[in-house]
Amino acid sequence: MKLFMKIMASVGIMGVVLATSGFAQTTLKDAFKNDFLIGAALNEAEFAGRNTNTVAIVKAQFNSISPENALKWESIHPRQFGFNFGPADAYVAFGQKNGMFIVGHTLVWHNQTPKWVFQSDQGSRTVERKRRPVDRDILLQRMSNHIFTVVGRYKGIIGGWDVVNEALNDDGALRQSEWEKIIGPDYIIKAYQFAHEADPKAELYYNDYSLENEAKRNGAIALVRKLQAAGIPIAGVGLQGHYKMDWPTNNQVDETITALSKLGVKVMITELDLDMLPPATKSQAAEVSMNFALRAELNPYTNGLPAAVQQQLNQRYADLFAMFVKHRDVVSRVTFWGVTDGDSWQNNWPIKGRTAYPLLFNRDGRPKPAFNAVLQLAAAVVP
């Protein structure tokens, strides 16, 4: 509380007053070194070293990395008897070489998981096999094999895993995913048990979007309690942080971090980006399968971001970081979902081919005013 008063006294209760010129000399990771890790999600061109511009930013500014796609089931285990470790190996090698905290994302999810996982390989003809869902025991075996193989390979190297991703509906009930339908609700506990056994020292996280909304947050709280009651050492909950300009409110973020911290787990912001493009849907969900048609009015900033919108973005980032710093006792990491605006998945989701500006570095790798706003916020906080 004392810290919060200091922050509010330094930054002004009505929000942070931001200078518009001059970039601070420090880096993100240094500015928040007493608060939390600062991470970025990397794509293959980055961790394989091809995108040298962005690699330089990552080395200078970040002390944690997440794999944007390389460790998802469809990438690392595309065929039943075939793992594709190349990109994931390059990802962890990048993190090791640069002394970073390496995150694993993600083991069990309803998206980016190949169809074969849920299909029986019994039956004489391909059509017949495709129609038949696999049975519970076999799916559990597949899940166990996947988790032991992937977590085992990076044992002692990947520091923390998003074991289960997005298992909840907006109302807080369990999502009726193939995992849930075929195995039943205990698939979640099983996934954490396998992961813990595969690497007892790795931190285990639950990761989801929209936990800032009360109903879904309550679902996550119930889920964490259930895991704890089953003896699972769950270390943290990840708030994805795919935020809009008007959602969630600072208050919602505040309440969510406070509520989760009462469970005795860390809170991480795992996929932060800010969407200021016109909404394609009323939904706040970061459901990756959403896909809407491109219309000119939904893509207004193809020639750059107007100063007024830029200013709103700066303020929003500063307000969010003030909130994260306020909760620095429990917030252990803030990870951006990408490095430069050009890399961001928001250029292609939920509409393909837009020009998005959700991150702190612009398309040619220069820090944006929002970068400065975040650093100024850090500087305003009394350590």
- Residue facing ligand XIL at closest CB distance: 345
- CA dihedral of residues 38, 43, 49, 55 (deg, nearest 10): -30
Asked if 340 is part of the footprint of ligand XIL (rule: CB under 6 A), the reply reads: no
Q: Which is closer to ligand XIL, CB of 113 or CB of 165? A: 165
Question: Residues 245, 210: contact at Cβ < 8 Å?
Answer: no
Pick from 288, 299, 311, 328 the residue near ligand XIL by CB under 6 A.
Answer: 288
Spatial CA neighbour of 162 closest among 213, 209, 118: 209
Asked if 165 is part of the footprint of ligand XIL (rule: CB under 6 A), the reply reads: yes
**Residue 123 beta carbon to ligand XIL: minimum distance, rounded to whole angstroms:** 31
Asked if 210 is part of the footprint of ligand XIL (rule: CB under 6 A), the reply reads: no
Question: Residues 176, 220: contact at Cβ < 8 Å?
Answer: no
State the Cα–Cα distance between residues 7 and 309, nearest whole angstrom: 25
Q: Which is closer to ligand XIL, CB of 35 or CB of 273? A: 273
In single-letter form, the type of residue at position 200 comes to: P
State the Cα–Cα distance between residues 18 and 371, nearest whole angstrom: 11
Q: Which is closer to ligand XIL, CB of 20 or CB of 291? A: 291
Pick from 147, 269, 276, 286 the residue near ligand XIL by CB under 6 A.
Answer: 286
Q: Is 255 a catalytic residue?
A: no
Asked if 336 is part of the footprint of ligand XIL (rule: CB under 6 A), the reply reads: no
Over the Cα atoms of the chain, what is R_g? Answer: 21
Q: Is 271 a catalytic residue?
A: yes
Asked if 119 is part of the footprint of ligand XIL (rule: CB under 6 A), the reply reads: no
**Residue span 246-285 as binding mask against ligand XIL, x where in contact by CB under 6 A, dash where not:** -------------------------x--------------
Pick from 64, 69, 177, 213 the residue near ligand XIL by CB under 6 A.
Answer: 69
Pick from 54, 213, 240, 310 the residue near ligand XIL by CB under 6 A.
Answer: 240
Q: Which is closer to ligand XIL, CB of 222 or CB of 288? A: 288
The footprint of ligand XIL (CB under 6 A) covers: 68-69, 165, 240, 271, 286, 288, 345
**Which residues are catalytically annotated?**
166, 271
